Chains A and B, each alone.
Chain A
Amino acid sequence: MADDVSSKIKRRSFLKAGAGAAIVGALVATVAPLRNLKAGSLDGFFQQHYKRLSVADLQAIIARLEGEIGRDYGAAVSIKDPKPKPGVRFAYALNLSRCNGSRRCVTACVQENNQSRDPAIQYIKVLEMPSGTFDLEKSDQHYDHEQVPMDGKFYLPVQCQQCEDPPCTKVCPVEATWKEPDGITVIDYDWCIGCRYCMAACPYEARRFNFSKPEIPTEDINPNMGYLSNRIRPAGVVEKCHFCLHRTREGKNPACLEVCPTGARVFGDLNDPESEIRYIVQNKRTYILKEEAGTIPAFFYYFDV
């Protein structure tokens, strides 16, 4: 009788121990993938929103980011934070009579802004449209002709329109994206939580998401970076065209304009009454995309004739 009970007890303890071990084993197996996780720094975790950073904070953050990019990508980079020029309001015009669909702007943008090559991200999409319609559903983004331009088509490059009343900044739950005084809608890549609501909201398909950590060969990295613009983004955040603000806030042209072979692009300050962009907006028959959406883009399309 005593043997019976003791053997029952032994069996029960054995079963309990076995069950316990099985549970622990299962838990370990469940979280096993985490051993491949590269933990970020604690400073990075507690980093505040861009608008709340003091100058000293930002310097420290930039120093840390430069170090991280150096380690992760093997390139010595320098990140600046140019402030908007007072009284400037940027706008872009694109002459649809001149664009020949060469996509040089797409390539230049990718090179300038350190976009991931794998998976490939491109801020600018050039739409090949049949002449006579503005129905975007008839567009073809993936034309692959031997030569351009093709007869009976016109070419419509689309990138972030830097809207006056952007739907994307309205929907962001953490205010990671906002409109700066010079008209550029920017993203704080270290604040974005990756919910992608802004991507659903954008009527121009302007935003891209980093589904994984960007991969860029070291030799392709542009070391002149801006904190709100072309520094290499982390995984899980949204990015988009920012009018090359690390260039334009210092008086230079955006990369897409610099390489346009037909000179179809015009960029400048709408507040300057003598600027070319002002002339175009006041004198040419300009069109904006999806005017009915009420977003008031800063990107004007026009034809010469």
Chain B
Amino acid sequence: MNGTYYLAFLRKVTVVASLAAIVAGCSESYPPKEGLYQRQVDGEVFDITPVRGALKPLRYKRGSFDYACTECHNDFASPRRQNPLQGEHADIDARFDHGMNTYCVNCHHQTDRNVYVDHDGSPIPSTEPARLCAKCHGPTYREWELGIHGRQNGSWERNSPNRTKLLCIQCHDPHQPAFPMMVPDPPTIVTRFDVGGAEESPHSPANESAKPRGETEHGR
């Protein structure tokens, strides 16, 4: 009993550590860590941070208690159906928007929250989130495999070592996968007489809105 428990604990730690590594790569706060999303090649720097925003893990909050799902659900299985989320879980529902996919256990393993689950109930390791998404998003997964869904940075050459491909959850927050709205960069200048649209051109009698930008947040 002790040995198996110890092994299970070790396995949990490894998995949690790898998950943490991925999550850390996803960056838990903004601005993101230097390195991963600042492409530095020959001195050029682009901010290529994906738009998904900060990782917002779902947590169970009640009164002064604030738990991660794994703190309870590693020890007992959750029911197959739990829709609607009731009682203490109701506020999790509010921050969860994955379209028609409303069951936690569609993605998460019933007993082991550190792995995902396949159609037949077998676990998908947390290092392979794409296999999970592919369960329902087949065409998107196939395109991602081909390289035409999502962005491939670094090089257009297929076999270049500089090429990087992002994982699904690096762009899509798995609990709210739809891309959030973004603040667009300033509008195209109307004519060369307008710089950033702040003033009306002395020569073009009428032009577009071109409002001054002022302070704006760029939702990177």
Query: Using a CB–CB distance below 8 Å, which chain A residues touch chain B?
Result: 93, 95, 100-104, 106-108, 112, 117-122, 125-126, 140-149, 211, 222-224, 248, 251-253, 255, 257-263, 265-269, 272, 274-276, 279-280
Contact = CB atoms under 8 A, between A and B. Distances in A.
- Which one of B157, B158, B193, B211 has the greatest number of beta carbons of chain A within 10 Å? B157
Contacts of A258: 39, 46, 48, 151, 153
B195 A120 contact: yes
A211 B192 CA distance: 8
A271 to B, nearest CB: 12
B185 A143 contact: no
Contacts of B50: 261
Nearest to B47: A259
A117 B220 CA distance: 23
Contacts of A140: 208
A229 to B, nearest CB: 13
B134 interface: no
A148 B182 contact: yes
Interface size class of B (residues with CB under 8 A): 35 or more
A259 B48 contact: yes
Nearest to A110: B185
Given A263-B171, A276-B152, 8 more contacts: A100-B181, A103-B187, A106-B185, A126-B188, A143-B184, A144-B210, A272-B158, A279-B148
B30 to A, nearest CB: 14
B76 interface: no
Contact of B51 (A112, A223, A251, A261): A261
A148 B188 contact: no
Contacts of B208: 140-142
B182 A119 contact: no
B192 to A, nearest CB: 4
A145 B185 CA distance: 10
Contacts of B188: 103, 106, 122, 125-126, 141-142
A252 B190 CA distance: 32
Contact of B44 (A107, A142, A224, A276): A224
